Amino acid sequence: MLRIFRGAGPGVILLIILTLAVLWISAFLDPQLPTKAIYETRPMPLYAILKIVLGSTPLPGVIFSFVMVALMLFLMVHFNTTVFFINERTLLPATLYLFFSALFPQYQVLNPVLPAVVFMLLAIMRIMDSYRKPGIAYNFFDAGLLIGIGSMFYANLLWFGLLGFIGITILRTGSIKEIAILVLGLITPYLVTTGLFYVMGKDLTIFLGDITENLFGYSGAYDFSRLIIIAVIFIGLALSAAIFFLLMGINSKKIKTRKTFSVLLWSFFISLVLYFALPSVSVEIVWIAAMPAGYLLAHYFVFARKKLVPEILFSGFLILILLVQAFHIF
């Protein structure tokens, strides 16, 4: 299975499209309403607008989320193609993100995290584009702005503004001006929104309360089934192997490749910390954590010398996801 999926030809693209259809068929056959999380009961401004546009029936929300996943698959391949930190033409990062998208079938509905993670990936691309750029890199304003806009869908994306500071530390000399323009980019969407609400006569305390609740309120616990627990443990072991493999060989890689993987590792660890530290974060964070996880696993699957273990891990991942989807349907 791994040999089939690790290619980059038209046949692999068709296979990914078919896999995408199979792993999302349950969402279309029986579309569910979104969960009663904080981001649903007290939505951030852009997500509130999105909910109004798509209406109260669940199917348009499923279609929107499906389109967002397809967009993420394209962007993940595009990012590696431009930076080429996985030194092989492969669609594996997109394939693995697709697998992650089907891990929690109850979240294959309209949710604010999917549009937010699109902005986060674009922000990381802007951060990496600042590498060896002479003078002040205004990329960090763009990155901050993108993360700030994304947080207007899913407020907890705001914590990933830390990636901007990490990027300045890793890629630049630590200019105060670059830190300032990053902060300006992060707060600009909030300044604009506050100004619009003020002009429209809206109660700003409600807006501030929504931000506080989305960042620190209790979003509810996810009820893990035994099968999903097995799948999460299996994926955790595969990710541990992938991270260990990367760290063992990272010093032999090109400088920009090392720095790219460093930013991706930080984004993955921030996701884990948010899940375990904040009551407002539940398993919806998988949409964000899956992005760096997809690259880490793809690197391991492509470059591991002993191919049997990666083949078992990849095939096991796919089989478990198919079982999760089958149990959800039947």
pLDDT at residue 264 in the model: 97
Single-letter residue type at 296? L
Question: CA triplet 125, 129, 131: central angle to 5 degrees?
Answer: 130
Max distance between CA atoms of the chain, in angstroms, equals 64
Has residue 136 got a pLDDT over 80?
A: yes
How far apart, in Å, are the Cα atoms of 70 and each of 19, 57, 309? 12, 22, 29
Number of structural domains, the chain? 1
**pLDDT at 28 > cutoff 80:** yes
pLDDT score of 316 more than 80: yes
Instruction: Note the pLDDT of residue 173.
Output: 80
* Separation CA 38–CA 280 (nearest Å): 7
The pLDDT > 70 percentage for the chain reads 100
Q: What angle do CA 106, 107, 110 make, to 5 degrees?
A: 120
pTM: 0.95
What pLDDT, in 10s, does the model give residues 62-88? Answer: 999 999 999 999 999 999 999 999 988
Q: Is the pLDDT of residue 219 over 90?
A: no
pLDDT digits (tens, 9 = 90+) for 81-97: 999 999 888 999 999 99
Range of the domain at 192: 2-329
